[in-house]
């Protein structure tokens, strides 16, 4: 995934889908007691949602004033029980107003991540549960940019080069946002050994939230 330049607030979402927790967590579930939210320099806001059978539960963790210079493992005020079949959705907001070029996902501090490191018991074999947009959906976006927007994207180029080839405007940014929200996922549901849990993890549907949490009550 990537973040276009010049954005006051651009959101990326990472999913730990119910299909993964269903095959990786014990029948009694796990208890999360700590959480470390993580992005790099462009991150300004991070929170993780907890969904069960389409119903949004109490949030797992939130930082509306996130700074990569002040990261900490936070003990949750109340431990959270996550059962097999539950989903976790981590949403990160980024500010790239001072950047002239697209920001790619990666390990460098000038690249970006959207991560929640959770601390829980009992120990399980689940090590990594993370999502990316499916290659098919992303290639369709790049093809649209070439055919209809006259951008220098090409199936001969890699993903990073295609992102960098786009001259970003409001419409192209909005279309990318829509693709990220609607496109199926390529999942990694991995054991500590690095092997994936049994299942088909390509073109996994985005977790539906049929009943979101109501907005917090106003205090004034």
| Cβ-based burial of 6 (10 A; exposed 0-12, middle 13-18, buried ≥19) | middle
DSSP codes, 64-81: TT--TTS--PEEEEEEEE
Q: Quick one: average pLDDT of 74-85? A: 97
Select the CATH number that applies to the domain covering 2-134+184-204 from these four: 1.10.20.10, 2.60.120.230, 3.40.50.1370, 2.60.120.620. 2.60.120.230
Residue 219 has pLDDT above 90, yes or no: no
pLDDT at 216: 79
Preceding peptide of 122 cis, ω within 30°: yes
The pLDDT of residue 59 is above 90: yes
Instruction: Write down the domain spans for the chain.
Output: 2-134+184-204
pLDDT at 199 (0 to 100): 94
Residue 2 to residue 185: CA distance in whole angstroms:
15
Tell me what pLDDT residue 134 has.
Answer: 93
Give which of 26, 167, 57 is closest to 102, Cα–Cα.
167
Query: How many Å apart are CA 96 and CA 7, to the nearest integer?
Result: 5
Q: Within 10 A of 192 (CB to CB), how many other CB atoms are there?
A: 11
Q: Is the pLDDT of residue 218 over 90?
A: no
For residues 3-12, give the mean pLDDT: 98
Mean pLDDT of the residues in the chain: 96
**Phi/psi of residue 85, nearest 5 degrees:** 95, -10
């Amino acid at each position: 995934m990537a973040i276009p330049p010049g954005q006051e607030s651009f959101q990326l979402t990472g999913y730990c889908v119910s299909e993964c927790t269903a095959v990786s967590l014990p029948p009694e579930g796990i208890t999360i007691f700590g959480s470390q939210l993580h992005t790099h320099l462009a991150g300004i806001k991070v929170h993780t949602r907890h969904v069960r059978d389409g119903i949004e539960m109490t949030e797992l963790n939130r930082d509306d004033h996130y700074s990569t210079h002040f990261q900490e493992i936070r003990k949750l005020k109340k431990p959270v029980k996550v059962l097999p079949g539950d989903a976790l959705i981590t949403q990160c907001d980024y500010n790239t107003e001072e950047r002239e070029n697209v920001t790619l996902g990666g390990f460098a501090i000038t690249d970006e991540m959207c991560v929640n490191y959770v601390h829980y018991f009992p120990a399980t074999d689940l090590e990594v549960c993370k999502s990316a947009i499916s290659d098919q959906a992303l290639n369709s976006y790049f093809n649209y940019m070439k055919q209809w927007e006259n951008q220098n994207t090409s199936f001969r180029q890699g993903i990073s080069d295609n992102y960098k080839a786009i001259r970003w405007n409001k419409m192209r940014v909005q279309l990318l946002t829509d693709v990220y929200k609607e496109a199926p996922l390529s999942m990694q549901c991995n054991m500590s050994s690095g092997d994936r849990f049994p299942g088909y993890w390509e073109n996994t549907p985005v977790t539906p939230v049929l009943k979101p949490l109501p907005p917090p009550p106003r205090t004034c």
